[in-house]
Structure 1
Amino acid sequence: MPIDEHHADFVTAFARGLAVIRTFEHGADRLTLSQVAARTNLTRGSARRFLLTLEALGYVTQDGNSFRLSPKVLDLGYSYLSSLPLWEKAQPFMKEIVDTIDESCSLGVLDEGEVVYIARVPPRHIYTIHMQVGSRMPAYVNAMGRVLLAALGDAELEDYFAALQPKKLTPRTITSVAEIRRIVNETRDKGYVITEDEVYEGRRSVAVPIRNREGQAIASINISAMDSRANRETFEKKFLPLLSNAAQQIGQSL
């Protein structure tokens, strides 16, 4: 059972060090000592010690009065990916899908109510979105997220909905908890879900689960395309069979 921050075995210094790493993000790739301290609720002295330690380990570099992450930080994420046979097995099947239809294909897992993209093969055309490995998105609005929510046990799902506070990303984002619950239950029965204009206007996505040999949904895979390039009928009659076949083969290969 996971411990919390009040447990005797919880290493506060380690948690704060990770918080310092996470404070660097898009739009905040270079931060001063004061900015890091403010973003992490640390004193300047504590923030300085963490930054200098991370610099000594090679995860942070200093440039004048500012700090930034070094490429070595990627080792932390790659350690996770390289520990997953799923990531390696899925790549050829995802590439085959993209080569066939020239639309993006992504692989995601559920983490604390969000979908984390662990693999992505972009299309050749220019009408794509900026999404990369490590990107996160609320599960309630994302096709892969809804598929993975549908795979949760009843108790886990109830806990998720009890804490859910949906927000609109587009005018068509569904924010009714009752409606999201209905869609998730429907996804359980159908085995797939299609979202339209909820994350990005003018964009549609279809997702299915990837199940291991025990039948557990361990990830989800999707195809995403602009409405102008593929209508719903194309998604249902062409994309969904491709996706379902790939998911089945990936699951069997694990």
Structure 2
Amino acid sequence: MTKDENSRDHIQSLERGFAVLLAFDAERPNPTLAELASATGLSRPAVRRILLTLQRLGYVHGEGGRWSLTPRVLSIGQHYSASHALIEIAQPHLVRLAERTSESASLAALDGTDVVYIARVPVRRIMSINVSIGTRVPAHATSMGRVLLAWAPDSVVADVVGKDRLPAYTRHTITDPGELRRGLAQIRQSGYSIVAEELEDGLLSVAAPVRDRAGTVVAALASSTSSGRATVEQLRSQVAPLVVRTAEQISADYGHPAAVGKATSAVHTPRDGFF
């Protein structure tokens, strides 16, 4: 598609509408029109028209000069879940994984340079950030993100890794692009990823790939815990085989012909140094 065709097919008003919706967040739960204009870079008249349109459609509510989202916004996410069979297929497996590990189990997909939670069974709150469906976390500092990057196209990896140092979230975060790329190669060999305290102090997680009928990695399954409850070695020896096996079971139910039950033999101990 040419640049002219891209421009012709681009609906700017729709883009601006989503920009306004996405400007509502934890820091701006009830923003004023001026605050939304500042956050989006749009003019106040443009934001006002968008808000009135969204209000007419039932997605926002205005009172006393401030605006808030309505519960109808949640239906957008429900439509995503309803149109993706993977989430429905994965849910019972997530429940069983959480029951067996007594830890939270999550399913996530890659969106740009972030990982987005698309299904989750929480057991206890181990992260200071509020993790729920739709939560975004940086791909390079999470086990799920690294699994997704390990099998992603080179162009996608380049967008995330780049050439400059990556953002550090703790003193353990891998920020060197070369080191991260070497870690991704090890993940492809081992079949899973373990990340320790790179996104948040005390947070440990192990993730494995979920594949579709064609064998393409479309999601990552993860089990998360805290450094007070487990060690990296315990995750590697006890939890990783279970996560890999569960991911293969989800993949099989989703149409991937890989044999279920061989997950444990497929798990190899990775070299130290990339957690």
TM-score range, shorter chain: over 0.9
Alignment check: 8 A CA contact 1:24 1:31 kept: yes
> Is 2:206 the partner of 1:206?
yes
Deviation at 1:127, TM superposition (A): 4.3
Q: Match of 1:8, SS? A: helix
Distance in 1 between the 2:172 and 2:187 partners? 19
Distance in 2 between the 1:4 and 1:74 partners? 35
Larger mean Cα displacement after TM superposition, 128-137 or 58-67? 128-137
> Is 2:155 the partner of 1:175?
no
Distance in 2 between the 1:10 and 1:226 partners? 45
Question: Which residue of structure 2 aligns with residue 218 of structure 1?
Answer: 218
Distance in 1 between the 2:157 and 2:197 partners? 24
For 1:76, the aligned partner's letter is I
Matched-pair identity in %? 38
Distance in 1 between the 2:6 and 2:87 partners? 35
Distance in 1 between the 2:157 and 2:127 partners? 32
Deviation at 1:21, TM superposition (A): 0.3
Alignment check: 8 A CA contact 2:204 2:226 kept: yes
Structural RMSD (CA): 1.9
Deviation at 1:226, TM superposition (A): 0.6
Distance in 2 between the 1:2 and 1:230 partners? 53
Question: Which residue of structure 1 aligns with residue 270 of structure 2?
Answer: none
TM-score scaled by length of structure 1: 0.94
Question: Which residue of structure 2 aligns with residue 53 of structure 1?
Answer: 53
Question: Which residue of structure 1 aligns with residue 271 of structure 2?
Answer: none
Question: Which residue of structure 1 aligns with residue 258 of structure 2?
Answer: none
Deviation at 1:6, TM superposition (A): 6.3
Deviation at 1:213, TM superposition (A): 2.4
Question: Which residue of structure 1 aligns with residue 185 of structure 2?
Answer: 185
Matches within 5 A, 1:96-245: 96-123=96-123, 125=124, 127=126, 129=128, 130-162=130-162, 165-245=165-245
Q: Taking structure 1 as reference, are residues 12 and 184 closer, same or farther at Cα in structure 2, changes over 3 Å only?
A: same
For 1:47, the aligned partner's letter is V
Q: Taking structure 1 as reference, are residues 176 and 48 closer, same or farther at Cα in structure 2, changes over 3 Å only?
A: same
Question: Which residue of structure 2 aligns with residue 85 of structure 1?
Answer: 85
Distance in 1 between the 2:117 and 2:109 partners? 7
Alignment check: 8 A CA contact 1:122 1:128 kept: no
Distance in 1 between the 2:232 and 2:113 partners? 27
Q: Match of 1:7, SS? A: helix
> Is 2:41 the partner of 1:41?
yes
Q: Match of 2:152, SS? A: coil
How many aligned residue pairs are there? 253
Distance in 1 between the 2:35 and 2:232 partners? 47
Distance in 2 between the 1:191 and 1:106 partners? 17
Distance in 1 between the 2:143 and 2:204 partners? 9
Q: Taking structure 1 as reference, are residues 96 and 211 closer, same or farther at Cα in structure 2, changes over 3 Å only?
A: same
Deviation at 1:161, TM superposition (A): 2.9
Question: Which residue of structure 2 aligns with residue 27 of structure 1?
Answer: 27
Alignment check: 8 A CA contact 2:140 2:161 kept: no
Cα deviations across residues 199-218 of structure 1 (Å, max 9, x unaligned)? 11112110100012221101
Which of structure 1's runs of 4+ aligned residues deviate more than 4 A?
1-6, 125-129
Q: Taking structure 1 as reference, are residues 127 and 218 closer, same or farther at Cα in structure 2, changes over 3 Å only?
A: closer
Distance in 2 between the 1:43 and 1:145 partners? 36
Cα deviations across residues 78-102 of structure 1 (Å, max 9, x unaligned)? 1111111111111111111111121
Q: Match of 2:242, SS? A: helix
Q: Taking structure 1 as reference, are residues 195 and 126 closer, same or farther at Cα in structure 2, changes over 3 Å only?
A: closer
